[in-house]
Amino acid sequence: MEDIHQRISEIRSDFPFFSQEGKFKDWVYLDTAATSQKPNRVINAELEFYQQFNANIHRGLYEISEAATAAYEKAREQISEFLGSQDSDEIIFTRGATESINLIAQSWGGLNLQEGDEILVTNLEHHANIVPWQMVSAKTDAQLNVIPIDDQGNLDMQYAMDAIRGGKVKCMALVHVSNALGVTVEVAPLIQAAKEQGIFVLIDGSQAVTHFPVNVTKLGCDAYVFSGHKIFGPTGIGILWAKRKVLEEIPPYQGGGDMIRSVDFEGTTYAEIPAKFEAGTPHIAGAVALGEAIEYVNEVGFDAIATIDQWLFGRAAEIVESIDGLKRIGNTLDQVGVVSFYSDQIHPSDLATFLSTDKIAVRTGHHCAEPLMKRLGIPGTVRVSLGIYNNAEDLDRLEKSLRSAVTFLS
Amino acid sequence: MTDPEILKDIVLSHYKQPKNKQNLAKSDNVFRAKNPNCGDLYAFAIESDAGMLNITHDTQGCAAAVASSSILTEMLNGLSSEGALKFVRSFRDTFLNGRPLPEDTSVELEALHFFKQSPARVLCVDIAWETVENALVRPS
Ligand SMILES: Cc1ncc(COP(=O)(O)O)c(C=O)c1O
């Protein structure tokens, strides 16, 4: 690659947030794991849809509605290709990763789980991959089985393999990359072992799809989910990919318009997939803009993304490790996008408030992963999360502010 | 309006050397609360001697939580139960409703108002006052 800083600077100029003249001019944004900033072309795609193509989809026999439908369906194709799916009907538009997981937990879990069955998750999960399973467990008397981690967030692979082969696990739902620690879970061997046992596998790729290419066909899982807003797309739109066979077997999640073939007060026949899972008017402009975001990622390319990610992570980790009293969590090379740390002396909220007065946005607390924080024995961490638009100056400012925060607060 | 740097120093000194702080493990009549956002724990023991309050705390948390608890005890100790309740209600009213500070506000209370800049930190300060208000309204 040409000079990495030059490339970052080009990427950064695609994001109007960083050249704004508004209230948050000159802020350092280090909370991309919570939500990413949006490039111009995504913002413009949404704008252009509303300005020029706005009509409801699948309903009108006039040309505008047909064009809106075509734009919506094109986004489905783009996402299908992005995930390496063989069949774009396997892509369901949802509100986000949370809704995608709820859909699978309710529809697949409600149909297939019984008393005594286990749902295997990790101790790294986001609440979005815990609570939906607890809700279906309460109805079905299935139980959660949690794969433990060590102090640095590495999964106990032996425990996982034993559980998979233990005969009780019916469903495995794993985070691909932890939002709280940035640890990448080595999902491939676990999926392979689980499929040998006929276990249903869902992967939560919310933090993975922005960092490395994912191919659901090669992975061999049954379902894969992510949110549009974390990959430069709009909020309110997300993806569930699941195998055709699964989507055809399980009942619909919500009822309403667009998801039916015919309705009669005596009974209703459901539409084919994907319409079966898209009741009501979807976030059409959001889907179109998400398609554009995916094109943007393809254009930047995962090679460049990996190079930038590696540099950003290395620099941020080095900053944290060089400051006395700060403890970074994670020791693997398999971390990406997130540097999470804490101090025995200084409360994470105080560090964040201090950084905020220097116009630096980081996240603190349990990051929607309370069971993980309990396991690590800390109330929360400070999380620096990185996007391909963060530059060397951002991290220099972080370093300076963190150093003075630690001096001031301890 | 006091210099923000002075206000910061006041918060910090109450955080690093909190007043009226002691281990309440053996006390009865302890009123506890937890911040749902971060898990910080607040604890207050309220005693009364000849009609005058003596409040101690054992709050474990961020600077806002600890300084708020410390300043609260300094403000309320020595008041009657009714006087303290009135004080707490008036503080919470100005603090939560964004009213201007009265002329005679002590610099300690002004320092707590520093956290009003951040809605997320308002709760860190207020939980202490809310806990004590509830305790004063309904002594156990
Ligand atoms: C790993 C992970 N899973 C699930 C979610 C939930 O995503 P959303 O809130 O967009 O539905 C997030 C977002 O924080 C996440 O990081």
Give the Cα separation of B132 and B73 in Å (integer).
Answer: 10
Exposure b/e, A70-87, CB count within 10 A at least 16 = b: ebbbebbebbbebbebee
Domain at B4-137, CATH from 3.40.50.620, 3.90.1010.10, 3.40.50.300, 3.90.226.10 = 3.90.1010.10
Query: Do B40 and A379 make contact, defined as CB atoms within 8 angstroms?
Result: yes
Query: Do A349 and B62 make contact, defined as CB atoms within 8 angstroms?
Result: yes
Chain B residues with CB-CB distance to A379 below 8 A? 38-40
Backbone angles phi, psi at A328, to 5 degrees: -85, 140
pLDDT of residue A236: 98
Annotated catalytic residue within A4, A306, A368, A392 = A368
Residues of chain A with pLDDT > 70: what percent?
99
- Closest-approach residue (CA) in chain A for B62: A347
pLDDT of residue B98: 80
pLDDT over threshold 80, residue A333: no
Residue with tokens 């299908």: A80
Give the Cα separation of A57 and A64 in Å (integer).
Answer: 9
Omega before residue B102 within 30° of 0, cis: no
pLDDT of residue A259: 82
pLDDT of residue B140: 54
Q: Which atom of ligand 1 is nearest to the CA of A367?
A: 14
Omega before residue B100 within 30° of 0, cis: no
A112 is written with which tokens? Answer: 């297939």
pLDDT over threshold 90, residue A145: yes
pLDDT of residue B117: 79
pLDDT of residue A264: 82
Phi-psi sector, B17: left (phi>0), alpha (psi -120 to 50), beta: beta
Q: Which fold has domain A2-30+301-409?
A: Aspartate Aminotransferase, domain 1 (3.90.1150)
Residue that wins the pLDDT comparison between A67 and B104: A67
Rounded to a whole number of angstroms, the distance from the CA of A381 to the nearest CA of chain B is 10
CA distances from A183 to A24, A97, A211, A322 (A): 30, 19, 12, 21
- Closest-approach residue (CA) in chain A for B9: A408
pLDDT over threshold 90, residue A225: yes
CA of residue A139 to ligand 1 center, whole Å = 24
Give the Cα separation of A282 and A300 in Å (integer).
Answer: 28
pLDDT of residue B36: 87
Positions in chain B whose pLDDT score sits under 50: none
Residue that wins the pLDDT comparison between B8 and A78: A78
Query: Do B40 and A366 make contact, defined as CB atoms within 8 angstroms?
Result: no
pLDDT over threshold 80, residue A39: yes
pLDDT of residue B41: 93
Rounded to a whole number of angstroms, the distance from the CA of B11 to the nearest CA of chain A is 11
CA of residue A239 to ligand 1 center, whole Å = 12
Q: Is B93 helix (H, G, I), strand (E, B) or coil?
A: helix
CA proximity to A312, closest of A233, A228, A396: A396
pLDDT of residue B139: 62
**What are the tens digits of pLDDT across the range A348-405?**
999 999 999 999 999 998 888 888 988 988 878 999 999 999 999 999 999 999 999 9
CA distances from B93 to A318, A327, A401, B105 (A): 46, 40, 34, 13
A116 is written with which tokens? Answer: 């005594």
Q: Is A119 helix (H, G, I), strand (E, B) or coil?
A: strand
> Which amino acid is present at B3?
D
Strand pairing category for A143-147 and B30-34: unpaired
CA proximity to B96, closest of B70, B76, B60, B68: B68
Predicted model pTM: 0.91
Lowest mean pLDDT: which of A31-45, A228-242, A336-350?
A336-350
Domain residue ranges of chain B, discontinuous segments joined by +:
4-137
Strand pairing category for A338-343 and A360-361: unpaired
Average pLDDT of the residues in A224-235: 98
pLDDT of residue B138: 78
pLDDT of residue A52: 96
Domain at A85-281, CATH from 3.90.1570.10, 1.20.120.420, 3.40.640.10, 3.90.1150.10 = 3.40.640.10
pLDDT of residue A107: 97
Backbone angles phi, psi at A126, to 5 degrees: -70, 150
pLDDT of residue A294: 98
A66 is written with which tokens? Answer: 């047909």
| Catalytic residue status for A171 | no
DSSP-assigned letters across all residues of chain B: ---HHHHHHHHHHHHHS-TTB---TT-SSEEEEE-TTT--EEEEEEEEETTEEEEEE--BS-HHHHHHHHHHHHHHTTS-HHHHHHHHHHHHHHHHHTPPPPTT--HHHHHHHGGGGSHHHHHHHHHHHHHHHHHHHS--
Give the Cα separation of A99 and A227 in Å (integer).
Answer: 9
CA dihedral A353, A359, A360, A366 (to 10 degrees): 30
Residues 98 through 137 of chain B touching chain A, CB cutoff 8 Å = 118, 120-121, 124
Looking at A250-301, list the stretches that DSSP marks H as alpha helix, in order from N- to C-terminal side.
284-300
Domain residue ranges of chain A, discontinuous segments joined by +:
2-30+301-409, 85-281
CA of residue A400 to ligand 1 center, whole Å = 30
Residue of A36, A126, A229, A385 with the most ligand 1 atoms within 8 Å of its CB, for mutation: A126
At A181, is the pLDDT very low, low, confident or very high (cuts 50, 70, 90)?
A: very high
